[in-house]
Amino acid sequence: MIIAANFKMNLTLAQVNEFANMLNANPMPNVEIFLFPNTASLAHLLVAKSFEWGAQNAYPAYNGAYTGEIGAEILESLHIKTVLIGHSERRMLHERHEFCVEKCNFYASRGFKIIYCIGEPIEIREKGQHAVYEFLESQLRDVPLNYPHLHIAYEPIWAIGTQAAQPEQITQTHKDIKTLCGSAKRNVLYGGSVKPDNVQDILKLPHVDGVLVGSASLVLDSFMKILKVATQF
């Protein structure tokens, strides 16, 4: 199972390093853990022994004149080799599909692990599963789907920070994503209101290979509960 924590614009350096201390002291068998802290903390993170740090954002270039961005040279110098791409909160800001694809191709070319987020808005979900399929197909267009270190995170926008999608919706959509990826082996994580009290029911669903957790990852105790559940799978 893969459990990823997206801290978004939360938690200070001291707080994220508390997560590192706890995880380093309590390795979780069978669980691949990724933590995505704020960019400003990346340079001062404690060494990750039983998990991996990742960047919430990265520009598709080695270095250069890109004010406010962070590129591969800086990330690699900090031993960060995992990146989150395509989160709906960044797409809502300014990131277009083509730019997400460019990022994905660039970081794939540098051997990074990539968690690539896709997910439909409520208007599409209301039209039914076929519309969702077509929407996700368009979000996966030109993404390097054969790249071995690519994980897809299915995050229906309407389920983020609200209430998790229904089990049937998750199962069917993950199945569809694996079909679109051309491989049942492609890891597909679910994201959207994953909590300690629903994670077991989500992880046991067919075609679910892990979860991407937002708000429930911000409290160390609640994140540890999620990880403990994941060790049972």
Q: In this chain, which of 193, 207, 209, 229 binds ligand PGA, going by CB under 6 A?
A: 193
Measured from the CB atom, the residue of 184 and 219 that comes closer to ligand PGA is: 219
113-118 and 82-85 strand pairing: parallel
Q: In this chain, which of 212, 226, 227, 229 binds ligand PGA, going by CB under 6 A?
A: 212
**Shortest distance (Å) from residue 223 CB to ligand PGA:** 11
Check binding of 119 to ligand PGA (CB under 6 A).
no
Helix (H, G, I), strand (E, B) or coil at 191: strand
**Shortest distance (Å) from residue 63 CB to ligand PGA:** 28
Using the Cα atoms of residue 40, residue 44, residue 46 and residue 48 in order, give the sign of their dihedral: positive
Using the Cα atoms of residue 58, residue 155, residue 44 and residue 150 in order, give the sign of their dihedral: negative
Check binding of 210 to ligand PGA (CB under 6 A).
no
**Shortest distance (Å) from residue 113 CB to ligand PGA:** 16
Whether 149 sits among the annotated catalytic residues: the reply is no
- String marking each residue 126-155 x if it binds ligand PGA according to CB under 6 A: -----------------------------x
- Residues near 152 by Cβ (< 8 Å), separated by ≥ 6? 115, 116, 117, 118, 140, 177, 181, 186, 187, 188, 189
Check binding of 194 to ligand PGA (CB under 6 A).
yes
The order of strands in the sheet holding 150-154 is: 52-53, 32-36, 2-6, 210-213, 188-191, 150-154, 113-118, 82-85
Catalytic residues: 87, 155
